[in-house]
Structure 1
Amino acid sequence: MPLAVYVLGLAIFAQGTSELMLTGLLPEIAADLKVSIPAAGLLISAFAVGMLVGAPILAVATLRWSRHATMLVFLTVFALAHVAGALTPGYGVLLATRIVAAFVYAGFWAVAAATAIGLAGPDARAKAISIVAGGLTIAGIVGLPAGTVIGQHLGWRAAFWAVAGLSAIAMAGVIATIPRGRSGRTPEIRQELRAMTNPALWLAYSTTALSTGAILVVFAYLAPLLTDATGLSAGWVPIVLALYGVGALAGITIGGRTADARPFTTLRIGLIGVIAACALLAVWTGTAWVAVPAVVVLGGFGFANNPAVNARVFAEAESAPTLAAAFNVSAFNVGITVGPWLGGLAIDAGTGYGAMGWIGVALGLLALATVLVASRTRTPEREPQRV
């Protein structure tokens, strides 16, 4: 695998650390800026919304730029947004910097994914994507707790400075390894938009959104589920999160090795694992020795799907890799937004944290249905491998 693909994974690690670390910094931010915890929580929501809309807009706006230049611009803006956030005395400016950072992060994701598969070749799409997306997984294992520790001991602004520094290192890696100049084929917006009319592509996006929602409806409420429902002490939360991250890293590594040759098999097994883990959490929410392993299983099988859903999108839109990747980033963020929203509705209705598992089961079953439909209607030209 080309070194540049690993550099892209490093860049996603830097940016993904910023995406995740705010969950551990909300009390410090709220106290420093004199806002409520819910108001500070809007910084997380604003980031998700920025990613949702940023990917397709920037994909179109920069379609004729070289990928080398595009990624450098995005990383520069991302780093400067964190510098501005670290220096701001007010909540409003920080909120604006989160939206800007998410906007260019989403654009970077789309271009990085298209670049990685271009460098790796059609027979190693999923493996390349697993390396790039693995940066986000490692951000969950290392970046999230490290950012929280830095924020708690040196202030939340120090964590923002650290992300800006990581982004600068990633920029140096891009300069050194990503080929300059445009690709041999000059992208045409009309051609890319025509490729987006493929119904199978939107079925793949549905799989992305539904499978992500099935994971996030549980993950978003994992801390209170563990402490309030399962009865574990607060000290267990970071340990379980780390175990979840280890499971996720194992899953995305295995998925990256199997999804190129057997994408549908990988998706079916991954989604069945997600459904089973959610069902275990729903039935045995109050039993720690069942709930904790189920969380690890959820991370493993859930992230094993990641390379496969990305590979499916690129298989269905080979003539529009950048725009297809951009909409897939948006599909991920639809799941990230809708899953926790459905969970919040259930909690407000008084159903208890066990309902998170049942919602995950329902979303997982819908995702599995989209995979079964896609596997039966695919054409040999779009999916040459036997599964």
Structure 2
Amino acid sequence: MKISYPVFKSLLALSLGTLGVCMSEFSIMAILPDVAKSLSVSIPEAGHFISAYALGVCAGAPLTVLVARSRPLRSILLGLMLLFIVGNAMTALAANSFMMLAARFIAGLPHGAYFGVAAIIADKLVEKAYSVLAVSIVIAGATIANLGGVPCSTLLTHLLSWRLAYGLVACVGLAVIICVLIWVPKLPGLKNSGFLEQFRFLRQPQPWIIFMAIVLGNGGIFCWYSYVSPFLTDVSGLDPSKMTLVMTFAGAGMVLGNSLSGKLSMRFSSSAIASGMQGIMAVSLLGLFFAGEYLIISLVLLFLCTACLFGVSAPQQMLLLQNARGGEMLGAALAQVGFNIGNAMGAFFGGLSIDAGNGYASTALIGAACTLVGCLLLAFYGRHHA
């Protein structure tokens, strides 16, 4: 049984939500110098805005389980989107760094839960053989965000203001609500087995192995990617006016990686796909450390990094969902928690290295080491637990 047209429309509606969520998350990395200048903070200090968003993601997943674990799935999505709109509207209106930190935290609250609930809905709408493919369609919105949404935000920032860019993100949230109401079917909530029962699966080692691999893999990438704009301009010699074009190029890598991952899932295990792609990320980051001053090499390795970053997303999401019996909502959201803990740690430690005077290239070396350990954890899982 292939994915039917009505189901495909439902997946597209869910995908529009991941587009909006990831525009919110990733846009700031491309416009970080503009935001820092506007709010009168240094670039490493502005990196805390990225960390605040990631911390919101980590808090939002267990809060959603506590408040809405047994509610109808579509209703949960709509509530999360309302919170998303509020957080991004506050971001656009932030007058100082404290308000910006609070706004980014609130904007991050629905992120992990949205991905988690969307993954559960996608899984329920198709046969098991198509689960990873369905989830990759949902995650495709995140790749389109980086292909078109983030460059659009970057262009708006350079032409007018970064505040308009986040006003646009809030408007995407309104479109998501309309599409979810029209195209996503009403599905019953998950079985309410109690709040503590949702965490029982965490007694097993498998979800922790996957979770740590996600944290280390994403942490490694975002140690470097959080500062991609100053790295490319200061280390590789990129003309700042070309940054919008480069972010489009990076987004194309994400689209390709996610699409390739969905196709590979019909032939290979999720753990094999994830470990292989994280290995490529580690090698690419090492290449950026040693050869980052060459612009062409940096752009090729940027493409590989972003392709693999989203190539591992759907397989890792499904690995956690498969290892979360009885706590599916938390398990599905936990992948995004892991991604964003990694984002926060990466941005933080990358900023520390820059503040210590090691330069932007040092972030790639730290990232390569973290990503390699994550790759080894996934390989261990595939050998002993898959």
Q: Which residue of 2 aligns with 1:348?
A: 355
1:208 pairs, out of 211, 214, 219, with 214
Q: How many pairs are equivalent?
A: 378
Q: Is residue 2:316 matched to residue 1:305?
A: no
Whether the 8 Å CA contact 1:63–1:187 is kept in 2: the answer is no
2:205 maps to a residue whose letter is P
Question: Residues of 1 paired with 2:347 and 2:93: CA distance?
Answer: 31
- Aligned partner letter, 1:374: Y
CA distance in structure 1 between the partners assigned to 2:185 and 2:123 by the alignment? 14
Q: Tell me the equivalent position of 1:277.
A: 284
Taking structure 1 as reference, are residues 11 and 334 closer, same or farther at Cα in structure 2, changes over 3 Å only? same
Residue 264 (structure 1) aligns with: 271
Provide the rounded CA distance (Å) in 1 between the counterparts of 2:273 and 2:370.
18
CA shift in 2, pair 1:12/1:355, >3 Å: same
Q: CA RMSD in A?
A: 2.5
Is 1:166 matched with 2:190? no
Structure 1 position 249 matched with structure 2 position 255: yes
Shift of 1:320: 2.0
Query: How far off is 1:68 after superposition?
Result: 0.9
Q: Which moved more, 1:265-274 or 1:82-91?
A: 82-91
> Which of 70, 73, 87 in structure 2 is aligned with 1:67?
73
Match of 2:204 in 1: 198
Q: What is the deviation of 1:262?
A: 1.9
Which deviates more from structure 2 when the two are superposed, residues 105-114 or residues 367-376? 105-114
SS where residue 76 of structure 1 aligns?
helix
Decide whether the 8 Å contact of 2:71 with 2:190 is kept in 1. no
Shift of 1:30: 5.9
| Aligned residue in 2 for 1:147 | 153
Distance 1:377 1:281, change over 3 A: same
Letter in 1 for 2:364: G
* Between 22-31 and 101-110, the greater mean CA deviation after superposition: 22-31
Tell me, in whole angstroms, the C-alpha distance in 2 between the residues paired with 1:344 and 1:87.
25
The 5 Å alignment of 1:25-174 reads 25=31, 35-37=40-42, 42-86=48-92, 92-174=98-180
Aligned 1:218-257 pairs, distance under 5 A: 218-257=224-263
TM-score scaled by length of structure 2: 0.88
Go from structure 1 to structure 2 and tell me whether the alpha carbon gap of 1:356 and 1:30 turns closer, same or farther (over 3 Å shift): closer
- For 2:345, the equivalent position in structure 1 comes to 338
- Unaligned ranges ≥5, structure 2: none
The answer to whether the 8 A contact 1:17-1:144 is kept is yes
How far apart are the structure 1 equivalents of 2:307 and 2:351?
A: 24
| Alpha-carbon contact 2:146-2:254 (below 8 Å) kept | no
Is 1:286 equivalent to 2:323 in the alignment?
Answer: no
Residues 335-381 of structure 1: CA distance to partner in whole angstroms, max 9, x if unpaired? 10112222233333333343333222211221122112212221xxx
* CA distance 1:340–1:182, shift in 2 (3 Å): same
- For each residue in 1:209-265, what CA deviation from the matched residue of structure 2 results, as whole angstroms up to 9, or x when unmatched? 111112112212222222222223223433332222111110111112223542122
